[in-house]
Structure 1
Amino acid sequence: MTEHDVRTWVAQTCEGLADLLSDDTWDAPSLCAGWQVRHVVAHVTMPARLTPAQFGAEMAAARGDFGVLSDTVAARDAALPPAELLAALRSPQLHDWQPPGGGAAGALNHAVVHSLDVTVALGAPPTAPAPALTAVLDQLADGTVFGLDLTGVQLEATDGNWGSGEGDVVRADSGELVALLAGRTLPDGRALPRVSAR
């Protein structure tokens, strides 16, 4: 996976998501608890809409808590005109962005997981290309990123040859597996166990 690959995959994922959205999808629920599709798009496009100075001000207002910042910006910017949010999804600035400390892998994870928050909830095919889905599955397969307990769990993609782990088999398509590994609950209620607090 090269940085060129990542930029291409991120662009395809975001452009595909922009192509998918229509007037009747913006208010649909997403896989992110309490967020509609418009909130997810407002969140994922922050790097294209906020300057570093604006982001710093938002972080200061949130007292350094990125979760608070995300909720605040999503709640506010979800009210932006859809055309503005779509333009941000198509922005080369978003396609080139890499999170501080996360690099290319973090950028790919961000775009793919949040696109699936929309497409899986809508029952639509992933907008991320298959190699991007596989790359993110490989990133998330140890369960540490989202605090999952994958002990005794075997994951198998029904649309390819990807698999990981040993134990009770969880089968789903690649997009659904990414969503599960990102700690999401699927529309049919399937979820992976969290690590127990000690």
Structure 2
Amino acid sequence: MRVPPGTVWPVVHEERRRLVADLSVLDDEQWGTPSLCTGWDVHDVVAHLVDSAKTTRLGFVRRLVAARFDFDLDNARGVERERRNDPQETLRALTDATELTCTPPANLATRLVEAIVHGEDVRRPLGIRAGYPTAAVMVALEYQLRTGVSMGGGKELAQGVRLVAEDAGTSWGEGDEVRGSALDLLLAVSGRATGPALPGR
């Protein structure tokens, strides 16, 4: 299922702006807080978001070839490239990238996954609460449920269970029920160790 660009980019741009605003008051210690994304601190995640926002289709292919099709290596190189010595400079780089509409050769729903999941990767450890458009969360969640783990999704993580989004009146799959908000389910199927526990995680 392809997502119309007109329904994705306004949400992505707004989420980038909101994240910049939330992080603009952090002190140096908070920038070093471990995120929900294993191995990355808050500063690393923001650097990744800058890199992701600037990644074009052709650039992604070239980089992946250079990384010998190792997604983790490509991501690590992207963080290293965009992570400034001063976290505020990295945050300014994200501000500068706010309105970009670059994307790798993937479903546009991945842009919603990036914006929402990585937003929570840094907000939750920092104790920052945020709401997201339910429709956008649902698009991201449904994409993750269709996509294998090897491609950044969570299809295998949700096998054998029935996911119930209590705030959206929607469910997926069959098996033992796993209940939560659509956002918590999105984080769970994205491999984050928070919210509902999935048997495949």
| Same fold, judged at TM 0.5 (above) | yes
For residue 179 of structure 2, give the secondary structure of its aligned residue in structure 1.
Answer: strand
Q: Which residue of 2 aligns with 1:148?
A: 156
Aligned partner of 2:126 in structure 1 is: 122
Matched, 1:69 2:71: no
1:134 to 138, 148, 171: 138
Higher relative CO (Cα under 8 Å, sequence separation at least 6) belongs to 1
Unaligned stretches of 5+ residues in structure 1: none
Distance in 2 of aligned mates of 1:2 and 1:50: 19
Deviations 1:105-137 (A, max 9, x none): 222222222222222333433454222111111
1:87 is matched with 92
SS in 2 for 1:98: coil
Name the Cα RMSD after superposition: 3.0
Aligned to 2:101: 96
| Other-structure match for 1:164 | 172
2:108 counterpart SS class? helix
The answer to whether the aligner puts 1:20 opposite 2:28 as a matched pair is no
TM-score under structure 1 length normalisation? 0.78
Quick one: structure 1 residues 125 and 62, their matched pair in 2 at CA, closer, same or farther if it must change by over 3 Å? same
Contact residue 18 and residue 89 of structure 1 kept, 8 A:
yes
Partner of 1:194: 200
Distance in structure 2 (CA, Å) of the matches to 1:9 and 1:89? 15
| Percent of residue pairs bearing the same amino acid type | 32
TM-score if structure 2 supplies the norm length?
Answer: 0.77
Aligned residues: 192
Separation of aligned partners in 1, 2:99 and 2:65? 22
Between the aligned partners of 2:30 and 2:170, the Cα distance in structure 1 is: 31
Cα pair 1:14 1:111 within 8 Å, conserved = yes
The 3-state SS of whatever aligns with 2:200 is coil
Contact residue 47 and residue 93 of structure 1 kept, 8 A: no
State the SS of the aligned residue for 2:30: coil
